[in-house]
Amino acid sequence: MEENKKMCMVLFSGSIDKLTAAGVILSGAVADDMDVDIYVLLQGARAFRKDIADDPKKLNMAENVELKEEFLKSLENLKVKTWLEFFREAKSLANVKVHICGLAGKVWGADKVSDFVDITDDIVGIGECITAAQESDVHLFI
């Protein structure tokens, strides 16, 4: 039996537009039967905190901050899932693991898995991220 292809996604950004893009890409990878390891770094880790993840008002835009409300309204009108819904659905359908960088968690005052949303699998060091990127078929930095 052939092994699934592997994707390593490094999610540095915690902006709502890039998190949404990551969710769409993740959905495509799952539809293509890929195993996905997501490594959440720095600003991304802030977005995964329980007290922030479900509140789009607490997340920034990567660029053009003045477009945030327009972006959110458009997603709502188009009935696009939230970034977190994309991630939860992907985890329920395939082998998707979410790893938070230990340093990133500490930067944002969160150092336990329980400080992050329910889709978080563990807290790891950067070495694990590097190894996963080396072993993956596809690696992305968002």
pLDDT in tens, 89-115: 999 999 999 999 999 999 999 999 999
Distance in angstroms (rounded) separating the CA atoms of residues 142 and 101 = 15
Give the lowest-confidence range in 1-5, 53-57, 89-93, 109-113: 1-5
132: closest CA among 3, 5, 4, 8? 8
Is residue 1 predicted with pLDDT exceeding 70?
A: no
CATH topology of domain 6-136: Hypothetical Protein Ychn; Chain: A, (3.40.1260)
CB 105 within 8 A of CB 123: yes
Coil, helix or strand for 138? strand
> Is the CB of residue 95 less than 8 Å from the CB of residue 132?
no
Could you tell me the residue ranges of all domains in the chain? 6-136
